[in-house]
Chains A and B, each alone.
Chain A
Amino acid sequence: MEKRATFSNLWLAAALIAPQMLLIFVFFYWPSGEALYWALTLEPPFGGDNEWVGLLNFRTVFEDPKYWNSVRISITFAFFATTLSLGVAAVLALFVDRRLPGHQVYKFTFFLPYALAAPAVGLAFRFIFSPDAGFVSAVNRFYPDLWNPALDGYDAFALVVMAQAWTMVGYNFIFFLAALQSIPRTVNEASAIDGAGVLRRMWDIQLPLIAPTLFFLIVINITDSFVNSFGIIDIISGGGPARATDLMVYKIYTDGFQGKDYSLAAAQSIVLMVLIVVLTFVQFRYIERRVHYS
């Protein structure tokens, strides 16, 4: 995509782009580079310049079972939260797109949770699912100690998955609905004339046609579950109990800012960055595929 008509004042071009480049240099590239530097060095205990240690920090990280616990939890968390929110959102979008009377109301409300700050969602869920007050605590009346996210790791994990999925349902819903609405009306009509009923049409026509959006959303959701979940974890569980919800971002935060071990945190950041970059490239492959449909 190139413009035919362009301007030729190069000083102006440089001046226009300068603020952006300056900002991303100072706050993106330099820190990212520094992360790498820190990951490969160690700060000596008595001051002075950092000491080059090669992959030692990475080895320390990879030999730590707590780190692998965090990786395992992050992946399980991403899997469950993503599957849950995408599944619910796809079903909702398909049925809202039937445009029965009242569908505008849903279009208007379903995405609202996404407008809420992650820690606000965390606080709300923490209250609603608290073991001794709020809403869900009623189950403990009948089965004492059935539900206690403050003590039971599985309960806590389920709770943060629900909170994360809840915020993302609205986001996914909007994208699915937009994808459904971009299917030409005549394609649906043609299938109706060909004899497909409503459910058959969803399965044969609509779902395959929103598949590219689905792939795109999978990547976005996984990234979001790695990143944006920080607020939810921080408020609901603080990574506990017993590290049952200790996601990678949260561990970087605790190691770096509470443990003050920058080198270890930097090494973990690098791993996470690589993971996210790989995911993004996977996404681009699918974006390429998406072009084929049109």
Chain B
Amino acid sequence: MAEIALRGVRKSYGKTEVVHGVDLDIAAGELVVILGPSGCGKSTLLRMVAGLETITSGEISIGGAIVNRLEPRRRGCAMVFQNYALYPHMTVAENIGYSLKIAGLSRAERRARVGKVAASLGLTEFLERKPGQLSGGQRQRVAMGRAMIREPRVFLYDEPLSNLDARLRVAMRVEIRKLHQRLATTTLFVTHDQVEAMTLADRIVVMNKGVVEQVGTPQDVYNRPESTYVAGFIGAPGLNLLHGIADSDQGVVTLRDGQRLAFDRARWPEIGHGPVIAGFRAEGVMLAAGGLTGRFDFAEELGAAQLIHATIAGETVIAHVAGATRLAGGEPVSFAVDPAQVQLFDASTGRRLAGENGAAQPAGLDIRDFAAV
């Protein structure tokens, strides 16, 4: 167990910088998920912690010691790769025990420890097989076994579940979480899947284009996104975002077509009169006359509910509505939005506008809201 600290970490390939200065502290025993779309620099960041990529500038320390120039094998990290990276010519037992062999442990000791790890992962009967003869889920477990057996200070996972089918992915997610509860090893987990991030993480780091957008608990990033980027990325669907002019005296945002959307004036008394982006969850919208009116586009059927897509002031708004509606394309709809759930973002930077007592958020986190689309 060790804490990890990143200070101003940058990475460039030639002239293109892909990670633009990341600061991050991870406490010992914490499970932190780095979440972002592909190409956002999240894997690069992880690989820099592992020592697989050099660090262009900045500092990375593990357990209080700077590791910038330390070789991967001296960092005490174990890593699980997306394609598992098992040694194809070795048996499962040899794969898991390879690091012990290098460390010079006796054959008997190796066998004992491999046996123990394999048993805890349900791999005992496969020990003599080669990776080519295993299913995806079994390979995944071998990769985890290979990481576990070293009793590392830090676990690094690089999108380990993305090659599995949906069912297995859920099962492995649970296993990883359990493993972490049992071993309490500091863990850094990279994924592009927000459901995975939400369900696994103690804290989530949302990255975009080489920059950390937000660091926070799953509740934080869902309820209090720091930027429109995070707002749109987290949740299925993401936050509805509408451009307009805010007026804190009246507590309304005037949309482009002149309609007015009310917000909690008490939380943003200071913003005065200016362009903002207003955001609210699809779950905070009801079909009711007298609200924002727009044009109905279509409905996505979820079974127990529907996602109603509509165009309001030229922008798309999605409402999560229980039951069935019978609307035809092009018909007018009216949405009522709870003012307490409206959040405001700076129109030019996309950053969240700090409001007073902003912590007060009514919506509880419901895991079902993240069901994969």
Contact = CB atoms under 8 A, between A and B. Distances in A.
A–B touch (CB < 8 A): the answer is yes
B102 interface: yes
Given A293-B132, A294-B132, A193 B87 contact: no
Interface in B69-124: 71-73, 77-79, 81-83, 85-89, 98-99, 102-103
Nearest to B94: A204
Q: Chain B: interface secondary structure?
A: loop
Contacts of A196: 73, 98, 102
Assign chain A's interface to a size class.
20 to 34
B45 to A, nearest CB: 15
A219 B348 CA distance: 68
A184 B81 CA distance: 11
A195 B73 contact: yes
Assign chain B's interface to a size class.
20 to 34
Given A187-B87, A209-B89, A194 B73 contact: yes
Contacts of B83: 184, 186
Nearest to A200: B102
B89 A193 contact: no
A294 to B, nearest CB: 7
B128 to A, nearest CB: 15
A120 interface: no
Contact of A193 (B73, B86, B132): B73
Contact of A194 (B52, B88, B99, B130): B99
Contacts of B78: 193
A192 interface: yes
A190 interface: yes
A208 interface: yes
Contact of A293 (B79, B89, B102): B89
Nearest to B131: A293
Contacts of A200: 102
A246 B103 CA distance: 53
A293 B98 CA distance: 18
A191 interface: yes
A98 interface: no
For A195, A208, A209, A292, the residue with the greatest tally of chain B CB atoms inside 10 Å of its CB is A195
Given A192-B71, A194-B102, A194-B146, A186 B81 contact: yes
A187 B146 contact: no
A186 B156 CA distance: 13
B239 interface: no
A191 B132 CA distance: 18
B31 interface: no
A205 interface: yes
A261 interface: no
Given A184-B83, A196-B73, A209-B89, A189 B52 contact: yes
Contacts of B255: none
A197 to B, nearest CB: 8
B85 A205 contact: no
Given A193-B73, A194-B98, A196-B102, A186 B85 contact: yes
Interface string B42-82: 00000000111000000000000000000111000111011
Contacts of B52: 189, 192-193
Interface in A183-228: 184, 186-187, 189-197, 200, 204-205, 208-209, 211
A187 to B, nearest CB: 5
A209 B103 CA distance: 22
For A187, A192, A193, A205, the residue with the greatest tally of chain B CB atoms inside 10 Å of its CB is A193
Contacts of B150: 194
B160 to A, nearest CB: 12
A98 to B, nearest CB: 14
Contacts of B82: 186
A193 B102 contact: no
A211 B89 CA distance: 10
Nearest to A187: B85
Interface in A271-294: 292-294
A79 B258 CA distance: 88
Contacts of A204: 98
Given A186-B83, A209-B88, A195 B132 contact: no
Contact of A190 (B79, B89, B130, B132): B79
Contacts of A292: 130, 132
Contacts of B89: 208-209, 211, 293
B102 A189 contact: no
Nearest to B98: A194
Nearest to A186: B85
Given A192-B73, A196-B102, 14 more contacts: A187-B85, A187-B86, A189-B79, A190-B79, A190-B146, A192-B52, A192-B71, A192-B72, A193-B50, A194-B146, A194-B150, A196-B73, A200-B102, A211-B89
23 contacts: A184-B83, A186-B81, A187-B85, A189-B50, A189-B52, A189-B72, A189-B81, A190-B81, A192-B51, A192-B52, A193-B50, A193-B51, A193-B52, A193-B77, A193-B79, A194-B99, A195-B99, A195-B102, A197-B73, A208-B89, A292-B130, A293-B88, A294-B88
- Sort A-B residue pairs by CB-CB distance and give the 5 closest, nearest first: A186-B85, A194-B99, A190-B85, A195-B73, A195-B102
